[in-house]
Amino acid sequence: MPSAPSAARSAARVLGLAALTLLATAPRASAAVGWSLAPAGGGRPSFYAEGAPGSVLQDTVSVTNSGRRAVTVGLAGTGLPVIFAEQAVRVPARTRADVPFTVTVPAGAAPGDRSGTLVAKDADGRTVTARIRLRVGGPALSALTVEHVAVHADRITYELVNRGTTVLAPKLAVRAHGLFGRVLLDRAARPLPVRLAPGTRTELSEPWPGHPALDAVDVRLTATAADGAHDTAGTEARFVPWNVVAGVAGALTAGAALTVVRLRGRRAGQAAEPLSTDTDTDTGTDTDTDVELTGAAR
């Protein structure tokens, strides 16, 4: 039986071999993936900028190469107008390169938050991104319009347009009256499944499966949103059962045609009858005889 010291030495050998095996099989980071992208200065998880429409904002991005060989990284921006001082930068091993860039706030941008992305890509196709948050300054204005209202079969179509500078979550109310003021449709304001960005429009429809078969209708749509945004628009529509009208028109046309045919038949029969004469059918002589005047002549 082995002594305690020898057993301890054997256990230590086994642990040492196991540790060497783990080190040999552990994955090693390659130089190609040993670089990163982050805002310059450290401590910032993403880029943040704020400015009025038309302004140009500046910042710096850092490309850090912790690998064992140099790497060349291409830079680009998405979602916002971004211009880099260098579109491609070569970073030596264990070195950091700081690249200035600008973000231009669009001249017609509405106040509010926007987002974009800085994209870095190396020759091997590896891509790293960093987020940009941009807040556009200016007065907030809520404005909404309802346009192009129309009735088509069993639905009402319309367009909503955001005329303001804030994102809108609109609601819609629908009312329809018949020829004599009878309420045909009355739907209270309810949220719509859309969010309208400033300056955008969207086409929507409202189902109306139970519309009248015969009536002249006045339809009104009222859209509302936060901060007092609202608008009302409408249209007139006439519901006519054209299949019934077509059937009645067909019957009237057929009746008129039959009447014309009968009248023509009667006229043709009258034209075929011989003209009557004042003749004595028994003797065959003309009954109109000359009258002989008699009398004494003096």
Between CA 122 and CA 128 the distance in angstroms is: 9
Q: Specify if 282 maps to a domain.
A: no
Which residue, of 194, 222, 240, is where some domain finishes?
240
Check whether residue 116 and residue 58 sit in a common domain. yes
Check whether residue 191 and residue 132 sit in a common domain. no
Give the residue from 90, 97, 88 showing the smallest Cα distance to 64. Answer: 97
Q: Specify if 273 maps to a domain.
A: no
CATH number reported for the structural domain that contains residue 214 in this entry: 2.60.40.10
Using only C-alpha atoms, the chain has a radius of gyration, in whole angstroms, of 48
CB 206 within 8 A of CB 156: yes
pLDDT at 191 over 60: yes
Task: List Cα–Cα distances, 290 to 39, 180, 286, 287, 293, in angstroms.
Answer: 141, 84, 11, 10, 9
pLDDT-derived band at 40 (thresholds 50, 70, 90) equals very high
Q: Specify if 246 maps to a domain.
A: no
Spatial CB neighbours of 105, under 8 Å, sequence gap ≥ 6: 51, 52, 53, 54, 55, 56, 57, 134, 136
Q: Specify if 15 maps to a domain.
A: no
Check whether residue 52 and residue 130 sit in a common domain. yes
Between CA 211 and CA 228 the distance in angstroms is: 31
pLDDT at 186 over 70: yes
Q: How many domains does the chain have?
A: 2
Q: Specify if 130 maps to a domain.
A: yes
Q: Specify if 88 maps to a domain.
A: yes
Tens of pLDDT, residues 221-253: 999 999 999 999 999 998 877 554 445 445 556
Q: CA triplet 186, 190, 193: central angle to 5 degrees? A: 130
Task: Please list the residues that pair with 106 across neighbouring strands.
Answer: none
Which residue, of 203, 224, 240, is where some domain finishes?
240
Which residue, of 97, 115, 136, is where some domain finishes?
136
> What is the residue range of 71's domain?
34-136
Q: Specify if 261 maps to a domain.
A: no
- Per cent of the chain over pLDDT 90 is 53
Check whether residue 149 and residue 234 sit in a common domain. yes
Tens of pLDDT, residues 144-160: 999 999 998 889 999 99
pLDDT at site 113: 85
Q: Specify if 70 maps to a domain.
A: yes
